[in-house]
Structure 1
Amino acid sequence: MLSIYTSYSCFRCRKEFVVLSQDLENMQGYLACPYCGNRNVKKQNIADSLKECMSERSYKRKNGAIVQK
């Protein structure tokens, strides 16, 4: 089965973004960060659900401190 979402992170601004696999095929190889426009992005993981894709780096507040899940 073809995965629906692909997660990327930017090397310059260190922000993460998600791209639909169908849109990625239509881009013809040109992929840039939507925040800063940098073309140096790293592919993180492929997932069938957006929740699974974005839960890799989630944080919660525990006793006043922010802790990674």
Structure 2
Amino acid sequence: MKEIYLIRICGKCKKTNILINEEVEDTIKKGYYISCSHCGSKRIFKENETSDLRKCMDNNVYKRVKGKIRQVHSI
């Protein structure tokens, strides 16, 4: 079974980006590139793939802000 989520770490700002694997593959297939959603850098590195969203959040601290989950900082 194929993994659903793809975890990427930015090489510039060191923040985590959690992406959906199908959308990433579709974007790359169309000839576009993936960039960091925080700083816009193209240097993002693949860290892990998983089907469980809770495993994506293991190494980071998150809190709810107005009903949305936000990353506070990496540990």
- Unaligned residue ranges in structure 2 (runs of 5+): 62-74
Aligned-partner SS, 1:23: helix
Query: Is the counterpart of residue 11 in structure 1 residue 14 in structure 2?
Result: no
Number of aligned residue pairs: give it: 59
Percent of pairs with identical residues = 27
Structure number with larger C-alpha Rg = 1
RMSD of the TM alignment (CA)?
1.5
- Residue correspondence of structure 1 range 1-69 to structure 2 within 5 A: 1-28=1-28, 30-55=33-58, 57-58=59-60
- The normalised TM-score by structure 2 is 0.71
Mind listing any 5+ residue stretches in structure 1 that lack a counterpart? 60-67
Distance 1:18 1:52, change over 3 A: same
Runs of 4+ in 1 over 6 A off after TM superposition: none
Question: TM-score scaled by structure 1?
Answer: 0.76
Give the 3 Å change call, closer, same or farther, for CA 52–39 of structure 1 in structure 2. Answer: same
Provide the C-alpha distance between the structure 1 equivalents of 2:35 and 2:60, rounded to a whole number of angstroms. 24
